[in-house]
Structure 1
Amino acid sequence: MSFFTSLSGLQAAQTEMSTISHNLANVSTNGFKRSTTQFADVIASTSNSNPTQMVGSGTVVKSVRQQFSQGGFTQSSSALDVAISGEGFFIVKGSDASNNVSFTRNGSFLVDSDRYVVDAQGNKLQVYPVDGSGAVVATGIASTVSLRLPQISGKPEATEDVTLSLNLNANSVIPSDDDRWTDVPYAFDRFDPATYNHSAQTTIYDANGNALTLTTYFVRETTPTTAEPTSDWTAYSFVGDKQLNSGTDPDDIEPIAMTFDGTGKLTAPAGPTSFLGFLAPGATTEQMITLDFGDATTQVYSPFSIDASSQDGSPVGQLEGVTIADDGTVRASFSNGDSQALGKVVLASFSNPTGLRQLGSSTWSASGLSGEPRLGEPGANGFGGLMAGAVERSNVDITEELVGLIAAQRNFQANAKALDTASQISQTIFNIRS
């Protein structure tokens, strides 16, 4: 009997060393939870056994129990890396058609080729659906959705109204042209800076959200008889290579005539100038825009300056960044200034987390021992909060594991010695009989 008693001790010590070795091997595994080996003694007894003379039959491994204590945190530069500070597990679903639900503490997520937020195994992070304000609209594990990042946001809006407030320098000289005072009409050439005084550029958008550049060139005029500068200016507006027509005849392109009074206040045009329609590149329908210099446009003795520029068009927004708030709200920002709530990270907890079934890769699944998951939002109802830009490390303490390994080795050697002693005793008995 002592042979089997010592053998059970050897097996138990070997299991403990395997458990410790597994812990040490995963000391750098994010979200890993260490395990400890629990033993129980074996007693074979009957109702008529004398309790004062009972001898045990060895030991047995009762369980290999996981320890779900908090691991340390490692800072990360990724916006999708997130750690749970406190109780809870992330919920992820498998990338295959089965959509198996599993749970993890490893919050190192990335974006796959289909723009889903996934872990290293391709499991999709689950979130609660939210409305435009970020409020949760459905709860329960059946209502969770896989977090997916959109590529664009909003609808394109063609520019219709442009406002441009500026100051034209009252000291501006007349653009030089040797032919100006001959019978040859003075010719404005936007490619020749000598033929205009100032220019202003404004980005506008066509019906498809494509960016176009509206460039307006300002030329100071003179009186034909004295050649002295006046308070009159001419504004030539172009969208790309197309000159805009402020007149009514499509065959006679007219620029905008600007007039200022003696105080430098704009007197004409008195309101927005409407241009005839123009075709944007690739467009089939003409686009109509107006240009309004407003009441703030002046001609005073100070350098040319653009004080304000605005337009009412907008492009389609391209995804620029993603953030995860402490309460789990995932929000995307776009190049057109839009901000969109994509969902709220949902956490799960269990009445007996040590009963979870290990799946590897720092993931677990529910079992009959763990109970059904209880779902909640980060930071509410006893769930831990989230720390964006951080990842939870393994909770393995190397010093503690090495001390445990020494104790397990000692136990193994002691049981091996007991087995050797029992063998020697048996050999002695065999020698007596012979």
Structure 2
Amino acid sequence: MSFYISLSGLKAAQADLSTISNNVANVNSTAFKKSLANFGDIFAAAPMQTTTQVAGQGTRIAGIKQQFTQGTVETTDKTLDLAITGESFFTVRTAPPTSQTSYTRNGAFSLDANRYVTDTTGARLQVLPVDANGVPTGNTSGDLTDLQIPQSYEDTSTTPSTWVQLSSIEINEAGLVTATFADDHTIMLGNVALAAFPSAEGLRQKGDAHWQTTLSSGQPTYGAGNAGLFGTIRSGALERSNVDLTEELVSLIAAQQNFQANAKAIETQNAVASAIINLR
């Protein structure tokens, strides 16, 4: 039995090493969230057995949970680079016909050939409709639309009408996207849809700093920045990973020593068993 106890310790140490190694490997991944392995002891006894005379039976992995702490915000000066200072996520959706919704903290957005704002996976950034004052008029998944940046607009105040070219794009802290054209005319294109969850730790990882909803995470609540848990949006900045390399290296040393200690325990148990078998 003692062999299996130490074996469970080896497996736990290996899982810890793998988790830490993954954190270290993604230290430069934009908006990556580190994980932490949690362990629990294994204990079993018969109903009538005195538990004070029973040793434990090893350890098990209780779960590997993500740590959604804020990462460092780095300035890039690119308008479509967005960073969230808060607990919410950007909402993105793949192009039809799949139209799969996911959530990300990676705000490295750019324009595709059709001038849709897309993330690093090609999914389109979602926005909420706004009224004439820039206030969102919807907060459900059915209100979400793809953000598309126009290259020009038709000025019908002249005869004949003329097309005026885009001059600049602005995204404020609330996430309101405003297009300014060469004649100083402005059009509000929508408000970046931020999603907040009852339990972000319950989200399912997809890779590339993307997550999907689960029963554990609960359904998202959509809204604009500068409101409660949604936090604020910073244009011209990106969130780096929340991995502290020094902390991870210290944890890596501790996990390595734990692995070696369990391996030594197996070696000692093998030596004891061999001595007993070889008794004459």
1:121 aligns with 2:121: yes
1:45 deviates by 1.6
- Indicate how the Cα distance of structure 1 residues 158 and 67 shifts in structure 2: closer, same or farther if over 3 A, else same: closer
Once residues 381 and 64 of structure 1 are traced to their aligned partners in structure 2, the CA distance between those partners, rounded to angstroms, is 28
Which has a greater percent of helix?
2
* Residue in 2 that maps onto 1:167: none
Identity %: 44
For residues 234-253 of structure 1, the aligned pairs below 5 Å read none
Cα pair 1:132 1:340 within 8 Å, conserved: no
* Residue in 2 that maps onto 1:369: 216
Cα pair 1:83 1:105 within 8 Å, conserved: yes
* Residue in 1 that maps onto 2:22: 22
For residues 128-277 of structure 1, the aligned pairs below 5 Å read 128-158=128-158, 207-209=160-162
Cα pair 1:130 1:137 within 8 Å, conserved: yes
Cα pair 1:317 1:337 within 8 Å, conserved: no
What letter matches 2:5 in structure 1?
T
What letter matches 2:47 in structure 1?
S
Question: What is the aligned-residue RMSD (CA, Å)?
Answer: 1.3
Once residues 88 and 3 of structure 2 are traced to their aligned partners in structure 1, the CA distance between those partners, rounded to angstroms, is 46
1:100 aligns with 2:100: yes
What letter matches 2:53 in structure 1?
Q
Runs of 5+ consecutive residues of structure 2 not aligned to the other structure: none
* Residue in 2 that maps onto 1:320: 167
Cα pair 1:83 1:386 within 8 Å, conserved: yes
1:381 deviates by 2.9
What letter matches 1:131 in structure 2?
D
TM-score (norm. length: structure 2): 0.96
1:380 deviates by 0.9
Q: Secondary structure at the match of 1:57?
A: coil
Once residues 266 and 137 of structure 2 are traced to their aligned partners in structure 1, the CA distance between those partners, rounded to angstroms, is 66
Q: Secondary structure at the match of 1:36?
A: strand
1:347 deviates by 1.0
1:322 deviates by 0.8
1:372 deviates by 1.2
What letter matches 1:121 in structure 2?
T
Question: Which of 1 and 2 has greater Rg?
Answer: 1
1:357 aligns with 2:204: yes
TM-score (norm. length: structure 1): 0.63
CA deviation string 1:156-194 (max 9, x = no partner): 5546xxxxxxxxxxxxxxxxxxxxxxxxxxxxxxxxxxx
1:343 aligns with 2:190: yes
Once residues 135 and 242 of structure 2 are traced to their aligned partners in structure 1, the CA distance between those partners, rounded to angstroms, is 34
- Indicate how the Cα distance of structure 1 residues 376 and 46 shifts in structure 2: closer, same or farther if over 3 A, else same: farther
Once residues 136 and 376 of structure 1 are traced to their aligned partners in structure 2, the CA distance between those partners, rounded to angstroms, is 8
What letter matches 1:411 in structure 2?
N
What letter matches 1:34 in structure 2?
K
* Residue in 2 that maps onto 1:58: 58
Q: Which runs of 4+ in 1 moved over 4 A?
A: 156-159
Once residues 92 and 57 of structure 1 are traced to their aligned partners in structure 2, the CA distance between those partners, rounded to angstroms, is 46
- Count of residues in Structure 1 that have an aligned counterpart in Structure 2: 280
